[in-house]
Structure formats: C-alpha cells, structure tokens
Chains A and B, each alone.
Chain A
Amino acid sequence: MMRLTQGRILALKTLLHLGFILPLAYLWLSVQSGAAGGDPVQYVIHFLGMGALHGLMLSLLVSPLAKGLQMGGLMRVRRLIGLWAFVYALLHVAAFLGLDLLGDVALLLGEIVKRPYILVGMATLLILSAMAATSPGAMQRRLGRRWQQLHDWVYLAAVLAPVHFWWSVKSGWYEPALYLSLCLGLLAWRRKRIVFYQQIVTSFNRGLNRG
C-alpha cells in the first residue's frame, strides 16, 4: 500500500489543479482558433456545464476511493475538487448570461422563473455556492455540526445536476441517462449514511416538536 506522504498529496493537488485549469485553457484556445465553430456560444456553455458535473462527480468519488483504498489522506483533496466544480458551475451560468443572453439580467431572471430546468440548475448552483462560501477551515469550525448538515446538501446537488443536463438536451437520452445513473451510483454507495442523516433530521424535528 502506497502511503500518502505530504509530498504526494501536494503532487496530487497540483495534478488536480492542472486537470481543471488545462480544460479552461483548451476551451479558450479552441474559441480563439475557431476550432469551437463559427458561433461557439453553445459549445462554451455546454463545455463548462459538463466540467461542473464532472467536478461534482469526482468530488463524490473521493470518499469511496479513500475508504476502498484505505487512504484517508485522499480526503484532503476533496475541498479543492468541490471548489473547482463550483468555479465551473459559476462560469457556466456566467457564459449563459454573458454570451447567450448577452447580459440581459431581466431575461435571465425571467427564464429562471419560467423554465423548470433552469430553476433546477440554479438550485444546484445555490447549493454549491453555500458550500464554497463555507469551505474555509475557520467556517467549518465556527459552524460545527451544522457545517456537515449544510454540506450534506451536495447529495441533492448530485441529483439535480444530471437532471438539469437531461432536461436541457434537445434530443437523445443515452448520455444524460448515463450521467444520472453514475450520480445515483455514487449516492447509492453512501445510502446508509444518507438514511442515517435522515434519521437524525427526523429525530431532531421530533425533539423540536416535543420541546
């Protein structure tokens, strides 16, 4: 068994950062060179959305991997991955607003209200934003147990994100179905934990009602 030394974790973090930065560089270059087509708006939006989904799934893969490989140190790269997923999701929405709607904020707000698939996407972004905002260690210590409760919302995000993808495509269901299944698979692996979490919430509510 390979031990995760400080140096190895640093190397892994560097690789992960590169793994998220290089696609953005590639995107930039393919837009500049024309390889992304005569009107790359949809290409850019789709690319960033898929990046966010991949990041989210990768972040959910960390704890199964850490447990399966018995390498607890792996958990130390999870925040970085989650933050990158958030950055991609933010860029995805920024590209939709900036390149497709051309900065028409009123239209964006109208679309969020009127189009359920966009509402689902924005709900996902909201969850990721709350997690990103509370990601520093200081916030984690300050929030205590509530920090974990807040970050458990990622399970909902892991369902909403592939649903948003499926809902957004014009035709063809193979690819979105594959993503939804993979996400559900990642959640199924932690079903005990999710059920356990629900029980805590239920008993907590019961306590509140009694009190």
Chain B
Amino acid sequence: RDLAFDVSRNYGIGDELTPEEKILTHNNFYEFGTSKTDPVKNAQGLKTAPWTLTIDGEVNHPLTLDVDELINAMPLEERVYRLRCVEAWSMVIPWLGFPLAELVKRADPNSRARYVAFETLYDPKQMPGQASRFVGGGIDYPYVEGLRMDEAMNPLTLVSVGLYGRTLPPQNGAPIRLVVPWKYGFKSIKSIVRIKLVERMPPTTWNLLASHEYGFYANVNPGVDHPRWSQASERRIGAGGLLSAKRIPTEMFNGYGELVAQMYTDLDLRRWY
C-alpha cells in the first residue's frame, strides 16, 4: 500500500535512482533461495501482517510492537541511499522509514548496552531456504546481524518500511528491515522480528559462514578486497540494459565518510574489515 512521508533527504547523493522494477527483481534473500531471481518468485506468500517486533535485552523498557501500528505511528521520511552489495554491484534506492535511534531510545537502553543484535523471522514453512539447506545455501538460520551502539544510533542508520512510496515488497525485506548505507548490503538485515541490546559483539551470519571473507564491521572499503574479487570498483545498476551499466570507483564508506568516519578513527579497518 502507499505510504505518506514528510521529507525526502539524500545526504549528498545525487545519483540517478535504480528503477523500481530492478530493485524488486534482483535480490539476495537466501531464505527464499540463493539465486537473485528466487526471492521475487518465492517470497510473495510471506505473511507480513500481523507482524510482531520485540526489542529487549539490556533495556529498561522491553517492547513488543505491532509493526503495522508502528508504521502508522512513526513519522516517515524518504531517504535516497546507495546500496553497495559485497558482490560489487550497487543500486540507488529511495527508502521510506525512520532512524533506528528513535526505536532504540523508546526501549531505553541501560549502561550495559554496547551492541545491537538483529534477527530475521525464522519460519521454515514460509521460507523454503530455512526448510532445506540446499535451497538456503547452507546457512544456519535465523539470519542474524549486529551493529555497535554508536553505529545503531548514527542518524544515517535507517529502519525501512517501504521503498518508492509504497510498503516493502516481501523480497525486499517486508514488513520492516534495516538499512545501513555505509556498510555492505548483507548488514542491512531483512524481515526483522527481534532487536536485542547486548553487552558483547553479537554473532553475524556471514561472518559465521566465512569469517575470512566477511567481518563484523563490513564497512564499504575500496582498499580492502574480498579474497575472491576486487572491491575497488562496482557495477552500478541503473536504468539501461545489460551493456549500458557502468563500472564506477567505490567510495570509502560508500560516500558517507563525512557522517560516519569519526566512529572508526581508532579502528584498523584492514584488520576489522
């Protein structure tokens, strides 16, 4: 359904938008199959309402929210963000949502809360990739992700409930997902059911699967290659056909350095990739 929003911000990104049709038909969502075309085929039956989101852990006010009510209650804004996949392709997407900080503040984190852990729905009946290791790429589900507290509270970190003016389609992570534009796409976890504030760095799915290839931070960094491919440039998925795509240099922090670099001044980004 259509969503109303108040403002539209692009945080300095003037790039041309990726067409909606491509954003909806080219997805990594292994719960519905490992091929890019699987999610749009297999996710349409996902029941996204009612949908309960739990926020708990190191908080003073644990919350259990109905996502439909949340979408109606929160003031939504449009954010035009770059999405840089770790596979070296990228899109420019007009998300609808609100800062994750708003949600976290509501639960009132206590002094022990140093990290935020996220969890995707676990429902093998609805998600064929969870029912079969063959379909789901051998990943241990549920999919989990995490951010450091300051990353979670950064104004750029978005909880998205829509794109292109409408609620999220299932293949894009309906009904509620994370968008962290200065990190590789796999950090932006989809179809979230639980947000837990924790003291220690939480496990993250791709890091568990191949820790030498995917780190906890996963900041977009053209200077640190994936062991099997270069991260120095990316294929931007735009409006045209197959051969009109462009290969463009990848920017540090995906071009959002001004807003996020100060969080990593003490971190060796070669080691903490």
Cβ of A37 < 8 Å from any Cβ of B? Answer: yes
Bound-state Cα–Cα, A93 to B210, Å: 26
> Which of A40, A100, A170 gathers most chain B CB within 10 Å?
A170
* Cβ contact of A174, chosen from B87, B138, B229, B247, cutoff 8 A: B138
The residues in B between 1 and 57 inclusive whose CB is less than 8 angstroms from any CB of A are 19, 21-26, 30, 34-37, 40
Residue of B nearest to A46 (CB): B35
Closest chain-B Cβ to A49's Cβ sits at a distance in Å of 14
Residue of B nearest to A30 (CB): B37
Bound-state Cα–Cα, A71 to B64, Å: 71
Taking A38-B237, A40-B242 as contacts, is the C-beta distance between A170 and B137 under 8 angstroms?
yes
Bound-state Cα–Cα, A100 to B237, Å: 11
Q: How large is the interface on A (under 10, 10 to 19, 20 to 34, 35 or more residues)?
A: 20 to 34
Q: Could you say which residues of chain B place their CB within 8 Å of the CB of A37? A: 25-26, 35-37, 40
Q: Could you say which residues of chain B place their CB within 8 Å of the CB of A41? A: 89, 235, 242, 245
Bound-state Cα–Cα, A69 to B246, Å: 52
Closest chain-A Cβ to B36's Cβ sits at a distance in Å of 5
Closest chain-B Cβ to A16's Cβ sits at a distance in Å of 27
Closest chain-A Cβ to B196's Cβ sits at a distance in Å of 25
Interface code B219-251, partner A: CB below 8 Å = 1, 0 otherwise? 000000101111001010100001101110000
Q: How large is the interface on B (under 10, 10 to 19, 20 to 34, 35 or more residues)?
A: 35 or more
Taking A41-B242, A171-B34, A172-B137 as contacts, is the C-beta distance between A117 and B26 under 8 angstroms?
no
Whether A98 and B138, one on each chain, are in contact in the complex, defined by CB atoms closer than 8 angstroms, is: no
Whether B242 and A171, one on each chain, are in contact in the complex, defined by CB atoms closer than 8 angstroms, is: no
Whether A172 and B34, one on each chain, are in contact in the complex, defined by CB atoms closer than 8 angstroms, is: yes
Whether A107 and B228, one on each chain, are in contact in the complex, defined by CB atoms closer than 8 angstroms, is: no
Question: Which residues of chain A have a CB within 8 Å of any CB of chain B?
Answer: 31, 34-44, 98-102, 104, 107, 110-111, 114-115, 117-118, 167-168, 170-175
28 contacts between A and B (CB under 8 A): A34-B21, A36-B37, A37-B26, A37-B35, A37-B37, A38-B19, A38-B22, A38-B237, A39-B237, A39-B245, A43-B36, A44-B242, A99-B245, A102-B246, A102-B247, A104-B247, A107-B247, A110-B230, A117-B228, A118-B228, A167-B228, A170-B210, A171-B30, A171-B34, A171-B138, A172-B34, A172-B139, A174-B138
